Structure 1
Amino acid sequence: MLRCQEGAVIELSTRQLEIVELVRRHAPITGEQIAEALGLSRPTIRSDLSLLVMLGYLDAKPKVGYFLGTFAAETSRTYARTLGLKVRDVQAVAVVVQHTSTVQDAVVTLFTEDVGGLAVLDDNGRLAGVVSRKDLLKVTLGNAAAASMPISLVMTREPNIVTVTPEDTVLDAARKLISHEVDMLPVVSEEEHPDGKEVVGRITKTTITKVFMGMAGE
């Protein structure tokens, strides 16, 4: 389902999508060449080509062939920008607690800052662990002594901490969030430090969703 240049939503057929992709890859390309690539006759795809030109997905020049129309070209550029978008372009400020903090301290910070996860820092200010709402919920339910427990007993530690760097792509971050089933990734500096990883930000599922919704809106 795609949105045409007038704003109406048009559901293109599989064949029409294949035609747009062929033109994107090989433009300028003639109708005969498109038909041959699809294993069809030119008359069979004539109505598809006419519709795609009318909707702005394709443009045609006599004796030259078909190429991407204004709408499809802009969609392609938006997609390319999404692929090239870096974590540093969208990351938020990291919300952290010290490894000596208690579970209660972490819960207060989590809800005060309205975030889904916290980075836990060691005495050198380096990444020691991460803790999520789920972690805190598990340890506090039915446990009256949980509030005074050190957060270090609850947090996820290396090598199980999943991180990204500012130079990773947003798509890479999205894949990690989904595959590891976490809500937040600490963003760590690419520079190696002998005493551990430096936390420089965070990226969340909410951030990713906003980015992709913004791209879709364009």
Structure 2
Amino acid sequence: MPQKIIFMHGLESGILGKKSQYLRENFENVYTPDMQMSMLNLKKKNSIIRNVTRTWIFRMWTFFIIIVLFRLSYDWQSLASLFFSFVSFFLIKKRIFQSALSMSLQQCTSIQSKALQDFKPDLVVGSSWGGLIALNCITQKIYNCPVVLIAPPVKMVLNKVDFSGQNWENICEKTKQISSLVHIVHGENDKVVSIEDSKKLVEKTKVSLQIIPQGDHSLNYPLLEQQNALSLKNIIRELENRFQ
């Protein structure tokens, strides 16, 4: 069994999530770095919504709307300015989200990069958002070890960060070089991250893919069922045997 495992949690999960607890129960030395990540939770310092407030374009828009509200006198010019302010937000919101998502990606990669260098794991398991971060770290050659990616939103997220698709192409090229280290597990009925995204990654990189019949996005069943042949523990054992 691998002696040291880093688990990279999902977008709305954390250090006390079900998969993190499962790994700690079944393996001796498991570390789950807290990425402080969420979509809408402002308490999480690397959340996308919190990074929205850090983007220069959102701050400029906020400054503009404050001026409009401060000078609002309910004449037609003021009301027109107020209307324009809200319309302009809908025109720039896609760019704001892109910048905030990119910031979250960089922040989480930085946290996990330090964890990889300090902890020096024998294996990395990344779930959903954590799977993307794990692949990002490994392809940047921050650390070199086998990785299990559970429903990783690689193409989905990278194409939102970079509309040209170049980031997606780049990570595919880098993954080709380490394809033997990467094993993807994806549910057949995943409604959050399409299994087609993982299939496209496999097509471009030749990494291994294990499809879970009828599996949803979380894959808490069957991955966390001790007696199941498709349990995460058994998947890790098989991966370990491959590298012995």
Q: What's the TM-score bracket when you normalise by the shorter of the two chains?
A: under 0.3
> By percentage of residues, which structure has more helix?
2
Specify the structure having the higher radius of gyration (Cα).
Answer: 1
> By percentage of residues, which structure has more strand?
1
- For normalisation by structure 1, the TM-score amounts to 0.23
